[in-house]
Amino acid sequence: MSTENRKHKRNIKSREIHQEDLQSTEITEIKRSHKEMETQNRTVSEYEWEKQEKTVENKEKEKEKERKMRDQFVERLNERDEQNTKKYGEGELREKRGTIKKENNEQKSGIERLTTENFEEQKKMIQNQLEELKKESRYKYLSKRAGEVVDLMKQELLDFEKLYSHLPITEREYKLNQINKNMLEMVEQFGDLQQVDQLSSGYRVPKDYSKESGGIDRQKQWEALTAQLVYDPSEVDENTQQRWENSQISKADLHYGARKRKSDKEKKKGNEIITDEQIEFIKEAIMSGKIDEQEDPIEEKKRKIEEEKLSIQEQRKSLPIFAHRQKILDLLSSNQVIIIVGETGSGKTTQLTQYLHESGYTKNGKKVGCTQPRRVAAMSVAKRVADEMGVTLGKEVGYAIRFEDCTSDKTVVKYMTDGMMLREFLREPDLGSYSCIMIDEAHERTLHTDILFGLVKDLARYRSDLKLIISSATMDAFKFSKYFDDAPIYKIPGRRFPVDIYNTKAPEADYLDAAIVSVLQIHLTQPPGDILVFLTGQAEIEAATEILTQRTHGLGTKIGELIICPIYSALPSNMQVKIFEKTPPGARKVVLATNIAETSLTINGIVYVIDTGFCKQNYYNPRTGMESLIVAPISKASSLQRAGRAGRVAPGKCFRLYTKWSFENELDDETVPEIQRTNLASVVLMLKSLGIDDLVGFDFLDPPPSETLMRSIEQLYALAALNEDGELTKLGRRMAEFPLDPMMSKMIISSEKYKTTSEILTIASMLSVNNSIFYRPKDKEVHADNARKNFFNETGDHLSLLNVYNQWRDSNYSIQWCYENYIQYRSMKRAKDVRDQIENLCERVEIPLVSNPTDYEGILKTITSGFFFNTSNITRSGDYSTLKKKQTVFIHPTSALFNRVPKWVIFFEVVQTTKEYMRQISEIQPQWLIEIAPHFYQLKEISSSVHKMPKQGKGKVNSSEVLKKEEFLI
| Angle, in degrees to the nearest 10, between helices 171-199 and 116-164 | 140
Predicted local confidence at residue 564, as pLDDT: 93
* pLDDT tens-digit readout, 8-41: 556 555 555 555 554 555 555 545 655 555 555 5
Determine the CATH number of domain 297-492.
3.40.50.300
For the chain, what is the largest distance between any 2 Cα atoms, rounded to a whole number of angstroms? 195
**Mean pLDDT comparison of 127-131, 171-175, 207-211, 856-860, highest-scoring range:** 856-860
* pLDDT tens-digit readout, 828-875: 988 898 899 899 889 888 899 999 999 999 999 999 999 999 999 998
Query: Can you identify the CATH homologous superfamily of domain 515-645?
Result: P-loop containing nucleotide triphosphate hydrolases (3.40.50.300)
Q: Across the chain, how many H-helices and E-strands are there?
A: 34, 23
Q: Look at residue 304 and tell me whether its pLDDT is greater than 80.
A: no
Q: What burial letters (b/e) apply to 691-707, b meaning 16+ CB within 10 Å?
A: ebeebeebebbeebeee
Q: Look at residue 812 and tell me whether its pLDDT is greater than 70.
A: yes
Angle at 690 between CA 684 and CA 695, to 5 degrees: 40
Q: Look at residue 505 and tell me whether its pLDDT is greater than 50.
A: yes
Q: Are 901 and 922 in contact (CB under 8 A)?
A: no
Which 8-state DSSP code applies to residue 970? -
Residues 6+ apart with CB under 8 A from 774: 784, 788, 822, 823, 824, 894
Which 8-state DSSP code applies to residue 793? B
**Mean pLDDT comparison of 68-72, 244-248, 671-675, highest-scoring range:** 671-675
**What is d(CA 399, CA 383) in angstroms, rounded to the nearest whole number?**
9
Q: Look at residue 424 and tell me whether its pLDDT is greater than 60.
A: yes
Q: Look at residue 397 and tell me whether its pLDDT is greater than 60.
A: yes
Which 8-state DSSP code applies to residue 557? G
Following DSSP, what letter does each residue of 559-623 receive, concatenated? S-EEEEEEE-TTS-HHHHGGGGSPPPTTEEEEEEE-GGGTTT---TTEEEEEE-SEEEEEEEETT
What average pLDDT does this structure show over 883-895? 88
Which 8-state DSSP code applies to residue 959? H
Predicted local confidence at residue 228, as pLDDT: 45
As a whole-number percent, the residues of the chain with pLDDT over 90 amount to 30
Among 692, 701, 674, CA closest to 485 = 701
Among 728, 724, 747, CA closest to 736 = 728
235: confidence class by pLDDT, cuts 50, 70, 90? very low
More confident residue, 453 or 238: 453
Q: Look at residue 257 and tell me whether its pLDDT is greater than 50.
A: no
Predicted local confidence at residue 261, as pLDDT: 42
Q: Where are the alpha helices (DSSP H) in 207-296?
A: 218-226, 240-252, 257-274
* Poorest-pLDDT segment among 67-71, 364-368, 853-857: 67-71
Instruction: Name residue 890's beta-bridge partners.
Output: 917
Local structure of 79: helix, strand or coil? helix
The residue count for the chain: 970
Q: Cα-flanking dihedrals φ and ψ of residue 746, to 5°? A: -65, -40
Sign for the pseudo-dihedral over CA of 404, 408, 413, 419: positive
Predicted local confidence at residue 751, as pLDDT: 95
Local structure of 871: helix, strand or coil? strand
**52 residue type, one letter:** Q
Predicted local confidence at residue 578, as pLDDT: 81
Among 184, 186, 87, 39, CA closest to 410 = 87
Q: Look at residue 676 and tell me whether its pLDDT is greater than 90.
A: no
Predicted local confidence at residue 151, as pLDDT: 76
Predicted local confidence at residue 434, as pLDDT: 94
Among 756, 918, 781, 773, CA closest to 849 = 756
* pLDDT tens-digit readout, 198-214: 444 444 445 555 665 55
* Poorest-pLDDT segment among 786-795, 923-932, 954-963: 954-963
Following DSSP, what letter does each residue of 309-364 receive, concatenated? TS-HHHHHHHSGGGGGHHHHHHHHHT-SEEEEEE-TTSSHHHHHHHHHHHTTTT-T
* pLDDT tens-digit readout, 717-742: 999 999 988 889 999 999 988 878 89
Predicted local confidence at residue 217, as pLDDT: 63
What average pLDDT does this structure show over 312-322? 81
Pairing of strands 880-882, 626-633: unpaired
Predicted local confidence at residue 343, as pLDDT: 77
Q: Look at residue 125 and tell me whether its pLDDT is greater than 70.
A: no
| Angle, in degrees to the nearest 10, between helices 325-333 and 348-358 | 60
- Neighbour tally for 410: CB within 10 Å: 14
**Mean pLDDT comparison of 420-429, 697-706, 806-815, 943-952, highest-scoring range:** 806-815
Q: Is the pTM of this model over 0.75?
A: no
Pairing of strands 397-401, 281-287: unpaired
| Angle, in degrees to the nearest 10, between helices 856-867 and 797-810 | 120
Q: Look at residue 265 and tell me whether its pLDDT is greater than 60.
A: no
* pLDDT tens-digit readout, 933-965: 998 988 877 776 665 445 544 444 444 444 444
Sign for the pseudo-dihedral over CA of 882, 886, 889, 891: positive
**What is d(CA 739, CA 525) in angstroms, rounded to the nearest whole number?**
48
Q: Using H for helix, E for strand and C for coil, what is the string for 109-165?
A: HCCCCCCHHHHHHHHHHHHHHHHHHHHHHHHHHHHHHHHHHHHHHHHHHHHHHHHHC
Predicted local confidence at residue 306, as pLDDT: 56
Q: Look at residue 132 and tell me whether its pLDDT is greater than 80.
A: no
**What is d(CA 79, CA 846) in angstroms, rounded to the nearest whole number?**
13
More confident residue, 175 or 908: 908
Q: Look at residue 49 and tell me whether its pLDDT is greater than 60.
A: no
In angstroms, how far is the first alpha carbon of the chain from the final one? 118
What average pLDDT does this structure show over 391-404? 84
Local structure of 708: helix, strand or coil? helix
Which 8-state DSSP code applies to residue 728? B
**What is d(CA 860, CA 923) in angstroms, rounded to the nearest whole number?**
8
Predicted local confidence at residue 770, as pLDDT: 67
**What is d(CA 873, CA 636) in angstroms, rounded to the nearest whole number?**
42
As a whole-number percent, the residues of the chain with pLDDT over 70 amount to 69
| Range(s) of the chain covered by CATH 3.40.50.300 | 297-492, 515-645
What average pLDDT does this structure show over 84-103? 46
* pLDDT tens-digit readout, 683-696: 899 888 888 888 88
Residues 6+ apart with CB under 8 A from 699: 453, 454, 457, 458
Q: Look at residue 509 and tell me whether its pLDDT is greater than 70.
A: yes
Predicted local confidence at residue 176, as pLDDT: 78
Predicted local confidence at residue 112, as pLDDT: 44
**Mean pLDDT comparison of 54-58, 433-437, 504-508, highest-scoring range:** 433-437
Q: Are 439 and 452 in contact (CB under 8 A)?
A: yes
